[in-house]
Amino acid sequence: MLANNNHQVINKLAKNTVRTNKRQFSILFVTIMLSTFMLFSIFTIGLTYLDLSRLQNSRLYGSEHDIAIMNGFTENQKELLSNNSKIETVGVLAYCGNVKSSDMDNTVNAALLWGDKIYWENQKSPVRTEMNGHYPQKLNELLATEEVLAECGKSSLTVGDSLLITYEDHTGIHTKEFVISGIWKGYGKDKENFYVSEDFYNQTGYDLESDGILQAKFKSNYIMGKTIEEIAAIKLPHLPLKEGAAIFSECCKEELIELAKSGGVLYPNLAETLGTLHQNHFLAIVSNCQNGYIQTFLEFHRLRDFFDDFLCFGQTQLPKGENIQLLMERNNLQTAVYVGDTQGDFDAARQAGIPFIYAAYGFGEVPDRSYRLNTICELPKLLKELVVLSE
């Protein structure tokens, strides 16, 4: 057996009136996992579950999915997901080997990947911004990006051109000439790799039970905005709540490590908008996340100076509505508005007795709302309108 670096690649794939001279409306940024900012959030269960919010996957990992079974899966697992009424799509992604060199560069670092039709046409499609050519159908075809061609020292190649590479798979080291069947642009860390045909994958010596990734997209988002205990009850219903919560608590520790290293992909113009808001408003964050999550996020993205306070479930073990009230009390806030994107956020604002602004660009649906944001950039204008209405 050859010691290929497949697990590193797979993990990488797998791997947002206290001040008397300010306006009377304070702003309470209440988010689910800071989702109205866009935040990188990972929950793992052993090697089998990788729960990511849908938008985060699209921007960071290059496909639209909610959960993934990593490092191999069985046909039974695939069938169970495919037949689940809450699942919309189930796609397959597999490692096929690594490129060692090209005829222009002896230090190439790129993987060979294969995705099935559902992965490529359904889960991958939303993150592609441009596609020239087609997905590989033949044994000698490669799908590339500008990034991976540059890694090979072949930036000038286009669709239809040939590329000579040396690669290693589970059967050995091979040198072969390929034809570029397509070049795509978009989001995702897989832009550093090539895609190959199913025929190519079948002759590499790998198998889906050992090296495959099974990705599923829910018809709805079921976990964002929930506490660790709530998520454990949903994801691990067969375990006692205390035991399930303990598993997720361990996952949260790993999550903070990854967050400190990688941060997230922020919504456009977030820092500029926060800077504008902070000139005239008290800004705070309330979240259902674990303690350390908000601090790590703000530190990584250098946003700490924009916020006057924060509070989370991990600090108080209280639900979001009570945390809103607690934060308002300790800062002597008489008025506030609550910006969020789920029904849970709406309910928390109602419990705290403050108005709610629906961030429609986020993760959830809130049918009963009075105020709506299509982008965070609209918030300063909306707040001015609210101040005028309140006078």
Task: Report the distance separating Cα 347 and Cα 354, nearest Å.
Answer: 10
Task: Report the distance separating Cα 208 and Cα 76, nearest Å.
Answer: 12
Residues 70 and 30 in one domain: no
Give the pLDDT confidence score for residue 49 in this predicted structure: 30
Give the pLDDT confidence score for residue 262 in this predicted structure: 79
Q: Range with the lowest mean pLDDT among 89-103, 114-128, 256-270, 345-359?
A: 256-270
Mean pLDDT across 81-85: 87
Q: What is the pLDDT of residues 171-193, one digit of tens each?
A: 999 999 999 999 999 887 778 89
Residue 372 sits in which domain range? 16-38+262-390
Helices (H), 83-137: 117-118
Residues 171 and 76 in one domain: yes
Residues making up the chain, counted from first to last: 391
Number of H helices and number of E strands within the chain? Answer: 15, 17
- pLDDT: is 180 or 335 the higher one? 180
- pLDDT: is 41 or 152 the higher one? 152
With beta carbons less than 8 A apart as the criterion, state whether 361 and 375 touch: yes
The DSSP letter of residue 347 is H
The DSSP letter of residue 121 is I
Residue 87 lies in a domain: yes
Residue 173 lies in a domain: yes
Residue 45 lies in a domain: no
C-alpha dihedral sign at 304, 358, 24, 279: positive
Give the pLDDT confidence score for residue 389 in this predicted structure: 52
Domain boundary among 166, 197, 218: 218
Nearest partner of 31 among 364, 375, 369, 377, judged by Cα = 364
173-177, 353-357, 368-372 — most confident range = 173-177
> Is residue 361 helix, strand or coil?
coil
Mean pLDDT across 274-296: 89
Task: Report the distance separating Cα 199 and Cα 136, nearest Å.
Answer: 9
Q: Which residue in this structure is represented by tokens 């002597």?
A: 332
Mean pLDDT across 123-133: 91
Residues 22 and 86 in one domain: no
Enumerate residues 6+ apart whose C-beta is below 8 A from 212.
72, 73, 92, 93, 94
For the chain, state the CA radius of gyration: 23
Residues 170 and 96 in one domain: yes
Q: Over 50: is that where the pLDDT of 218 sits?
A: yes
Nearest partner of 364 among 218, 258, 164, judged by Cα = 218
Q: Over 70: is that where the pLDDT of 285 sits?
A: yes
Residues 210 and 67 in one domain: yes
Q: Over 90: is that where the pLDDT of 227 sits?
A: no
Task: Report the distance separating Cα 144 and Cα 127, nearest Å.
Answer: 15
Q: Range with the lowest mean pLDDT among 46-60, 198-212, 235-249, 330-344?
A: 46-60
Q: Range with the lowest mean pLDDT among 192-206, 222-236, 261-275?
A: 222-236
Residues 173 and 298 in one domain: no
With beta carbons less than 8 A apart as the criterion, state whether 25 and 387 touch: yes
Residues 289 and 193 in one domain: no
Mean pLDDT across 142-157: 95
Q: Over 90: is that where the pLDDT of 148 sits?
A: yes
Give the pLDDT confidence score for residue 191 in this predicted structure: 86
**Domain containing residue 367: CATH number:** 3.40.50.1000
Residue 26 lies in a domain: yes
Task: Report the distance separating Cα 192 and Cα 260, nearest Å.
Answer: 22
Residue 187 lies in a domain: yes
Mean pLDDT across 65-93: 88
Binned at pLDDT 50, 70 and 90, residue 61 comes out as low
Binned at pLDDT 50, 70 and 90, residue 378 comes out as very high
Give the pLDDT confidence score for residue 243 in this predicted structure: 85
Give the pLDDT confidence score for residue 342 in this predicted structure: 84
Task: Report the distance separating Cα 181 and Cα 25, nearest Å.
Answer: 57
Domain boundary among 185, 218, 251: 218
Q: Over 90: is that where the pLDDT of 261 sits?
A: no
Residue 281 lies in a domain: yes
Q: Count of domains in the chain?
A: 2
- Burial bucket for residue 388 (CB in 10 Å: 0-12, 13-18, 19+): exposed
Domain boundary among 218, 248, 282: 218
Give the pLDDT confidence score for residue 60 in this predicted structure: 62
Give the pLDDT confidence score for residue 153 in this predicted structure: 94
Binned at pLDDT 50, 70 and 90, residue 379 comes out as very high
Q: Over 50: is that where the pLDDT of 24 sits?
A: no
Residues 313 and 192 in one domain: no
DSSP states of 234-303? HH-TTS-HHHHHHHHHHHHHHHHHHHHHH---PPTTHHHHHHHHHTTS-EEEEESS-TTHHHHHHHHHT-
Residue 385 lies in a domain: yes
Task: Report the distance separating Cα 176 and Cα 166, nearest Å.
Answer: 6
Phi first, then psi, for residue 277 (nearest 5°) are: -65, -40
Residue 92 lies in a domain: yes
Residues 288 and 195 in one domain: no
Q: What is the mean pLDDT of the chain?
A: 81
Residues 197 and 141 in one domain: yes
Residues 32 and 59 in one domain: no
Mean pLDDT across 218-222: 64
Instruction: Look up residue 145 and give its two tokens.
Output: 């990006």
Residues 178 and 93 in one domain: yes
